[in-house]
Structure 1
Amino acid sequence: MNYRHAFHAGNHADVFKHLVLARILTLLTRKEAPYAYLDSHAGVGLYDLTASQATRTGEWQQGIGRIWDAPERPALLNEYLDCIQALNTPEQLRYYPGSPELARYLSRPQDRLYLNEKHPEDGALLKENMRQDERVAVHRGEGWHLPRALLPVAEKRVLLLIDPPFEQADELTRCVQALNEAIARVRQSLVVIWYPIKAEAQLKRFYQDLGQSTAPKLLRAELWIHPTDNAERLNGSGLIISNPPWGLEEELAELLPWLATQLAQSQGGWRLDWLIEESKPQTSPNSPARKPRTSQGIKR
């Protein structure tokens, strides 16, 4: 419970995570039916980039700072950037939205948000930041219990973000357990798991466990800004997405090369593939499997 995201708000991992989250939320709104957004480790919801925590590390300057100053940006960034623009003046980029604020901004009147933050101070700040929105319920319990505590909900469509601080050695295992719990309670749960990439070899067991999970289909998207061979630094991050909405894979195939180029600090790259592919119809047993898409060697 020592982790405070304010030190890292707006860095390269945040940009990647929140941009993909914005695309998922936007795709969900194509259907009129309401959805429920659940956030297991929500943070405070809104971050001041001029506060002492953010200025001490300055990580946002190599993340959202680069995106904000980019002369040409893909149209797929629009919803994500609209949220940030709504929080700031044209003269200064000061406030950055965490996942709760981004979800609150992009959701509709019929949608509901269930946010959880266990850290005492951050949980209180989250409740304060969300107090004026009746669609939002803030919980301050154990984030890992969220699937069993809240699912199923009244809304038939569910988006669950699992984004722990990764302070404990077993958190990758617990991510897979939470994924299985959510799928067991709502088969078509759209679960998004964020994870850090340091040395890629450390993730081998995680990938194996995910491949053996109960998810009907599982998409993996990764973005790195350094080579993935140094366990002493955050080289990049990844997102595991169960039951992704139609169209997301093609959007990520467009976005990831641009992000890798824009955010690379030494040598960047990206990967997009399926850990679990959707079952093929029996009428087409010889349909070729989708090839993984990957790129490395983007230098800055």
Structure 2
Amino acid sequence: MNYRHAFHAGNHADVLKHLTLSRILALLGKKEAPFAYLDSHAGVGLYDLQGDQASRTGEYLEGIARLWHRDDLPPALADYLRVVDELNPDGELRYYPGSPELARCLSRPQDRLHVNEKHPEDGRLLKDNMALDRRVAVHLGEGWHLARALLPTAEKRVLMLIDPPFEQADDLERCVQSLNEAIGRMRQAIVVIWYPIKDQRQLKRFYQLLAASNAPKLLRAELYVHPVDNPLGLNGSGLAIANPPWGLEAELLEWLPWLAKQLAQSQGSWQLDWVIEEKKPA
């Protein structure tokens, strides 16, 4: 396992993933009842954008740096940017929150977090970064086993993020397997899969598997920074969201076009549609 997310922290894919995650957390927070947050491939939780790995690629310059300290941001970005602001109180963009830190900052005292990282060194860093928050349990096992290990939870509401490194050829298929396992154990769970947009043939098969999954409903949101048929590199990224909370689709329709324009590198675009539409009662 060689993938290290620090090389890619704060890039356009992180912005889409973390902004959407922040909105789901906000919508869950409208009800007093507690929820559990599960993160299958959590990384270290906090990234130094001026450190060796992030500065070597500079991907954040085409991502979070384009939104930093702008005064024309859509209101939906407020929670997400507030977390970034609080990590950089001197006004210089240096530290960036991974999904565990974002969820930790945007959850409430009654909520619980289970974050998992298999990479030995990153797992130790994750433990250090989460050590002061007693609501957070850090696991150092296989991320694909998280659903069977922890679901169902005592909390009736669950948000689970599946965000593997995509080093293996079957990772897209394993994402859908994990989705099916999570929904099979807690049908009402919100399950979010992040995926890269590169090989269209692999994605076609992935979409077919999603459509055949056991999710009651499943929303797909994609953001492209290059044309989808560009043969080089990461053209964009997507989120498959099972059981999205009410209101999320309308929010995405408001800010996703704006975000695609701001983060475009050669040609920006976006897509939002239902892979599985909710069945209406007979």
Q: What is the TM-score of this pair, normalised by structure 1?
A: 0.93
Query: 2:186 maps to which residue?
Result: 186
In structure 1, what is the Cα distance between the partners aligned to 2:97 and 2:2?
Answer: 21
Counterpart mapping for 1:220-299 below 5 A: 220-282=220-282
What letter is aligned with 1:221?
Answer: A
In structure 2, what is the Cα distance between the partners aligned to 1:39 and 1:269?
Answer: 28
Query: 2:72 maps to which residue?
Result: 72
Counterpart mapping for 1:40-119 below 5 A: 40-119=40-119
If asked which structure has higher relative contact order (CA below 8 Å, sep 6+), I would say 2
- Alpha-carbon distance, 1:281 to partner: 3.0
Measured at CA, do residues 202 and 70 of structure 1 come closer, stay the same or move farther in structure 2, by a change above 3 Å? farther
- Alpha-carbon distance, 1:112 to partner: 0.1
In structure 1, what is the Cα distance between the partners aligned to 2:199 and 2:57?
Answer: 22
Once the two structures are superposed, what CA deviation does each residue of 1:3-28 show, in whole Å capped at 9, x if it has no partner? 00000000000000000000000000
In structure 2, what is the Cα distance between the partners aligned to 1:200 and 1:186?
Answer: 31
Once the two structures are superposed, what CA deviation does each residue of 1:103-155 show, in whole Å capped at 9, x if it has no partner? 00000000000000000000000000000100000000000000001111111
Query: 2:215 maps to which residue?
Result: 215
What letter is aligned with 1:151?
Answer: L
Once the two structures are superposed, what CA deviation does each residue of 1:32-90 show, in whole Å capped at 9, x if it has no partner? 00000000000000000110111100000010000114341000000001111111124
What letter is aligned with 2:26?
Answer: T
Partner SS for 2:145: helix
In structure 2, what is the Cα distance between the partners aligned to 1:19 and 1:280?
Answer: 30
* Large movers: runs of 4+ above 2 Å: 199-202
In structure 2, what is the Cα distance between the partners aligned to 1:230 and 1:267?
Answer: 10
What letter is aligned with 2:159?
Answer: L
Query: 2:22 maps to which residue?
Result: 22
CA RMSD of aligned residues (A): 0.9
- Alpha-carbon distance, 1:231 to partner: 4.0
Query: 2:9 maps to which residue?
Result: 9
Partner SS for 2:268: strand
Partner SS for 2:259: helix
Instruction: Give the conservation status (yes or no) of the 8 Å contact 2:85–2:91.
Output: no
Partner SS for 2:279: coil
- Alpha-carbon distance, 1:202 to partner: 2.6
Instruction: Give the conservation status (yes or no) of the 8 Å contact 1:199–1:228.
Output: no
Query: 1:168 maps to which residue?
Result: 168
In structure 1, what is the Cα distance between the partners aligned to 2:135 and 2:199?
Answer: 40
What letter is aligned with 1:110?
Answer: Q
Instruction: Give the conservation status (yes or no) of the 8 Å contact 1:36–1:159.
Output: yes
Query: 1:292 maps to which residue?
Result: none
In structure 2, what is the Cα distance between the partners aligned to 1:240 and 1:51?
Answer: 31
What letter is aligned with 2:173?
Answer: T
Instruction: Give the conservation status (yes or no) of the 8 Å contact 1:172–1:206.
Output: yes
Partner SS for 1:267: coil
Query: 1:298 maps to which residue?
Result: none
Higher Cα Rg, which structure: 1
Instruction: Give the conservation status (yes or no) of the 8 Å contact 1:192–1:240.
Output: yes
Q: Which runs of 5+ in 2 are unaligned?
A: none
For the pair 1:34 / 2:34, whether they are aligned, the reply is yes
Q: Which runs of 5+ in 1 are unaligned?
A: 283-300
Query: 1:122 maps to which residue?
Result: 122
